[in-house]
Amino acid sequence: MEGIIAFIMQHQIETLLLVFGIIILAFIITHWNEVKFWWLNLSYNLPIIGKISLLARDIEGFDENHKWFYSEERLCRDYYNFYEKVDKDSESFDEAKAYLHSVGELGRKPTPTFIWVMIFALVIVEAFGFAYVLAGFTIPGASEATQQKGAIGVAAMLAILLVWLTHMTGQELHKNTLIKKIRRWYKNDNAGGTNWRDLKPDEQLISIDNTFDDEKSPNYIRMLNRVDANDKVKTTYTKTILTLLFIFIVAIGATYIRHQVLVQEIASSHESAMNIFNDDASPFGDVDASSDDDIGALFGNGATEDAEEDLSALFGAEESKPASSNTAASGNSIEDETNLKGGDATFLILGLMFVFIQILGIFFGMHWDFAGRESKEAYECLRGFSTKKAFLNYYEKAKTHISRVAQRQLQKLQHKMNIINDNTGTDAETTAILRNNKDRTFKQYLTFEDR
């Protein structure tokens, strides 16, 4: 753990950028429609390359049926796509609630923002944990800095892939619970002999708009009409098996690499210690060699050997060897074995924590989000409102807001088109139509768009 913290502190800029990027990504996922509307406004208001600047140059394209310029219709159509999503009434409330009730997902919610932030926070920890392990193996032969950056990229990609797989697995398991419920209800219904029929959806495609068309069908058929099941209406575990296999491969592989890194570090520490010992002992080794040469020169080589044999006989063969070296080697062996066992136990715990985090991601996928074809759209329509009055008030404000923004953008476009027409000059009829734009409003556009 200390190594991972040191690794993060060494790459503070990369860590901050990754955290910032993940927070933005979580916000975009949970507020996608708001982000798209913000981007539409930005794309229209950009100077020179903005859509208003580009559309204003087209003052010749004119729709004879509606008596609108094509550029004006283009702008209104872009904003109408958002207006249409909030153009809801009391009937829309009833349809969305009935759809979710029929598919068995009334009360479920999409994954909250704080859950996504927590998931991606765990991803950051996983990414840097993997990066610390993979740093020496990602790009062999490259510099240490390049290896570390490559390890961060690979580890982040791996962690994000795991988030996606676990979330998909959770959704598959939730869908399987609905299919099991369909089959159980079907079996109980047919056991009583009340409604014998094939277990298959109705031929008519059921959506939110016509959700009441299958009211007379049994509950399990209504649920089946809204869930994409296979032709045998059976559970499938393809995503689950692939995800679990991938998780265990990564967990075992990461644990093995951690073990190899620990063994390499222990070997490197011994090599460094030996180098230091040899450097310190080299002067004395020269003195001993020169003294042996001097004795040999005076008394002959045999004298040196006789002296060594006498010393061995006098003090014992074992006492002539340094006892400290044997003690140090034994101590190092015990210490290495202890470090290796402790490290492996720690790595096993880290591997189990990694597996638990992935199981937690699968649980989040099971607990949140939807399996019905249009359940997410139905929930977004309801917006969590339990009363019809609150529902209608919200959408009335949303429609008013989009209408005002669209009208302001349309006025900017019409003003810019008049300026360009005055500078370039066109025929009198076009000039008169451009200036007489009181009837070409976004509210007026809604009247013939809804026909």
CA 347, CA 350: separation in Å to the nearest integer? 5
Q: Cα torsion for 261, 263, 267, 268, to the nearest 10°?
A: 20
Residue 24 pLDDT grade (very low, low, confident, very high; cuts 50, 70, 90) = confident
CA 253, CA 419: separation in Å to the nearest integer? 67
String of DSSP letters for 148-190: HHHHHHHHHHHHHHHHHHHHHHHHHHHHHHHHHHHHHHHHHHH
Mean pLDDT, range 375-395, rounded to an integer: 88
**Where is pLDDT greater, at 449 or 355?**
355
- Cα–Cα distances in Å, from 360 out to 116, 265, 380? 12, 33, 25
pLDDT digits 0-9 by tens, 42-54: 999 998 899 999 9
The alpha carbons of the chain give a radius of gyration, in whole angstroms, of 38
Residue 64 pLDDT grade (very low, low, confident, very high; cuts 50, 70, 90) = confident
Write the DSSP symbol of residue 111.
P
pLDDT digits 0-9 by tens, 171-206: 999 999 999 999 999 888 877 655 566 788 888 889
19 has a pLDDT exceeding 50: yes
Per the CB < 8 A criterion, the answer to whether 443 and 403 are in contact is: yes
Per the CB < 8 A criterion, the answer to whether 378 and 104 are in contact is: no
289 has a pLDDT exceeding 90: no
Percent of the chain with pLDDT over 70: 73
Residue 145 pLDDT grade (very low, low, confident, very high; cuts 50, 70, 90) = low
Write the DSSP symbol of residue 88.
-
216 has a pLDDT exceeding 50: yes
This prediction has a pTM of 0.66
Q: Report the mean per-residue pLDDT for the chain.
A: 79
CA 22, CA 117: separation in Å to the nearest integer? 7
pLDDT of residue 354: 83
pLDDT of residue 433: 84
Mean pLDDT, range 427-438, rounded to an integer: 83
pLDDT of residue 237: 94
Mean pLDDT, range 262-271, rounded to an integer: 69
